[in-house]
Structure 1
């Protein structure tokens, strides 16, 4: 009987769903949404919902908040944002004889129509109507838009030396949906997309110059590493690309 109970306990443990934190570090299978129009516009927060269909953008650079539901839309000044200790973002925007109350609550949220994952559950109240949906902050994505020099690949330190023309680097522009750079020998370019969890490069094209020595040895593994969707961590001038939860490449921001 004890053996049977122990076996049942092991089976129950094995069948548990992985934690949100662990699952978020696994290599994703769904391509990221295209946020380039919002990034070009300078939007910081984006939210949307269904039943009824609605959308919201908050653009601090222009000082505007835009809300649309069906044929009804409004643009107003961005009110002061209130941030709770648990990361909840709140806006209370005066609109005519009423107000637009907006809450961004940090929590996993999947859009029922597209299946796209988001980082916030969003609630909006206006004129007695209640809207619910999903939202995202684009601040993390804006940090990606820079020039990054490779410092580590598959646990090995990458440094400039006499046998290498230059260190591999990537220049990421999500507003244009393009990445350019070098393998350390050949130039590369191609499309790129990212959300707050993952980044997808390619298909990438390169020039065809023959690569000798260290540059030639590095080019293949570097391009292969960029050939699949990758999770990423970014901060303090450092970009880490991960595969199945493990660091695959580390880049340093160009000063």
Structure 2
């Protein structure tokens, strides 16, 4: 009888340990995804409608350019200027400029894409910025130098699945049995994914409503009778984008639809 009692106690103890183990596994803490300073800044700036922002090398001035073309320039001395910029003059794929003015002041702006981290080590900016402010009627102008960055559309973060190539629905049979998916990492201005056969990755460039892909690279697997080649050509030709709800549309320089993606679940 005692032996039976001991056996029953042992079985109860074993089952209790199993239950405790299950509970421990279920309630294990979930790892948190770290949010970088740039992601926080870009998210805040985007919600404020800012498209490009810059700061002085000594933090002695700042400028915000919003999506409605309004320029807000201020200095540490309390000077504040508000303009509406004219058409942007793209001097090359990596440099642009514009001018603006009011009754008293002329304002010129130039941004050149190059590493600006030496000037402001604590930040990561892609553009070196030069601003000239000139009071009308005076020959002397004041020059400000610093670093700037386009605001990344943080809504692009995450994985997107191809829905449409041109005007045709994306089919698994066109991409070797697997619909292409791409992941955007806007903090790094990069993307990566699969075209169905080969891995594809590159850099994302944004600015004034434009989006394009740079430094596109892919693996070199030989894949026939598919549309991966057309997909890569469309990525290379992308110049504009439209994001509505969970649908991302990429367009060429003539605003013709190239690719349509939906947010992957």
Residues 93 and 151 from structure 1, CA distance in 2 versus in 1: closer, same or farther, beyond 3 angstroms? same
How far apart are 1:253 and its partner, in Å?
Answer: 2.1
Residues 133 and 90 from structure 1, CA distance in 2 versus in 1: closer, same or farther, beyond 3 angstroms? closer
Residues 235 and 164 from structure 1, CA distance in 2 versus in 1: closer, same or farther, beyond 3 angstroms? same
Aligned to 2:41: 42
Distance 2:239 2:92 in 1: 24
Deviations 1:181-230 (A, max 9, x none): 0112332223333323131243321252x657xxx522222122223353
Contact 1:239 1:251 in 2 (8 A): yes
Deviations 1:34-55 (A, max 9, x none): xxxx9568353576xxxxxxxx
Aligned to 2:56: 67
How far apart are 1:114 and its partner, in Å?
Answer: 9.0
Contact 1:109 1:134 in 2 (8 A): no
Contact 2:238 2:258 in 1 (8 A): no
Deviations 1:103-159 (A, max 9, x none): 2536423378998347x86679xxx99754368984463333332211000200124
Deviations 1:62-93 (A, max 9, x none): xxxx435xxx64279x9xx9x9xx94657697
For the aligned residue pairs, the C-alpha RMSD in angstroms reads 4.6
Q: 2:182 aligns with which of 170, 175, 191?
A: 170
Aligned to 1:154: 166
- Size of the alignment, in residue pairs? 183
Contact 2:194 2:200 in 1 (8 A): yes
How far apart are 1:238 and its partner, in Å?
Answer: 1.9
Larger Rg: 2
Contact 1:174 1:193 in 2 (8 A): no
Q: 1:198 aligns with which of 206, 211, 215?
A: 211
SS of equivalent to 2:231: helix
Aligned to 1:185: 197
SS of equivalent to 1:227: helix
Matches within 5 A, 1:86-165: 87=68, 89=70, 95=76, 98-103=77-82, 105=84, 107-110=86-89, 116-117=95-96, 131-133=107-109, 138-139=150-151, 141-160=153-172, 164-165=176-177
Matched, 1:250 2:249: no
How far apart are 1:179 and its partner, in Å?
Answer: 1.9
Question: Could you tell me the TM-score, scaled by structure 2's length?
Answer: 0.50
SS of equivalent to 1:223: helix
Distance 1:102 1:252 in 2: 41
* Runs of 5+ unmatched residues, structure 1: 1-37, 48-55, 58-65
Question: Could you tell me the TM-score, scaled by structure 1's length?
Answer: 0.52
- The structure, 1 or 2, with the larger RCO (C-alpha pairs under 8 Å, 6+ apart) is 1
